[in-house]
Amino acid sequence: MSGDRFKLENIRAVVLDWAGTTIDYGCCAPPRVFREVFQSRGVEVSERQARGPMGMAKWEHIQAIANNPEVRELWIRKYGLPATKTDIDFLFKEFVPLQKEILSSYSQLIPGTVDVIDTLRSAGVAIGSTTGYTHEHMEVVLPLAAKQGYKPDTTICSDDVSYGRPRPWMHYEALKRLNVDPVWQTVKVDDTPVGIQAGQNAGAWTVAVCLSGNEIGLSYDAVRCLGNEDRAHRIAEVKLKFKQLGTDFIIDTVADLPPVMVAIDQKIANGELPSFFSRSKLGVS
């Protein structure tokens, strides 16, 4: 979409997630390491179990895996009692360096990211980002993304706030650093349910990414190998999940974002608010 023709009058900022949204097609790096750290303690965690809490801060993600009923039972069989805070601390301490070690292999931009960001910037939209990764992890990711042409105006990490997603604090912190308000003139783009919920809880418009994200969980090459029927079925399942959350818009990948931004811009011009502010959500009859 040409910058000369692309105009947004009512959107002040977009806040994008990282893995599964702008980098690491399929959000493949975190589950690999989550599984490794649990395996190191003699507890086998499936890909599905590792991906389930995706979008949370990593300590909380590990805790959520440990609290999964199936994993909890395996842990009790191994150690006689459920995982304790000390156990979670130990797993997180193992996770951080292992994740950092492999991140350079999982920091390829998702196709279309740079063009979309350039288009939005040309329309005067500030570019924020949030991530469940820590600053230590983003020390690896940020320079690699910049070399590929993607450099957000601000990046908020899980250790910048007291609580991560689905709390709204990372979105608010991004807007604070961007000096942008009101929140209903901002858009949250994420590939996880808790990321979408964080945007909703903040009062932003929400755009869910399905094909390149954690919910499908396949690399770019793996997605390209899917048959048309299989691909359509997977997308439909993920879209249903996000629709049930009340997500404002759903796209396949970040490359599909510009037309949705135009649609949101028009809704704001018409006096509409994000779906989270609907009468039913507010309990108004």
Residues 191, 177 share a domain? yes
Burial bucket for residue 49 (CB in 10 Å: 0-12, 13-18, 19+): buried
Question: Is 176 in the active site?
Answer: no
Q: Which of residues 105, 135, 155 is at a domain's end?
A: 105
Q: Are residues 185 and 84 both part of a single domain? A: no
Confidence (pLDDT) at 277: 78
Examine the residue annotation and report whether 265 is marked as an active-site residue of this protein.
no
CA distances from 9 to 124, 149, 181, 188, 279 (A): 9, 25, 14, 17, 26
| Residue-number span of the structural domain to which 90 is assigned | 29-105
Kindly tell me if the per-residue pLDDT of 285 is higher than 70. no
Percent above pLDDT 90 for the chain: 93
pLDDT at 275: 85
Q: Does one domain contain both 50 and 134?
A: no
Considering the domain architecture, whether residues 208 and 113 belong to the same structural domain is answered as: yes
Q: How many domains does the chain have?
A: 2
Tens-digit pLDDT profile for residues 68-121 = 999 999 999 999 999 999 999 999 999 999 999 999 999 999 999 999 999 999
Helix (H, G, I), strand (E, B) or coil at 155: strand
Active-site residue among 4, 7, 17, 24? 17
Q: In what order do the strands lie in the sheet with 249-251?
A: 154-156, 126-130, 13-16, 186-190, 205-209, 249-251
Which pLDDT does position 280 carry in this prediction?
Answer: 45
274 and 181 in one domain? yes
Active-site annotation holder among 4, 7, 24, 58 = 58
In this structure, are 94 and 137 located in the same domain? no
| Tens-place pLDDT, residues 212-252 | 999 999 999 999 999 999 999 999 999 999 999 999 999 99
In a domain, 197, yes or no: yes
Domain termination site, one of 88, 105, 122: 105
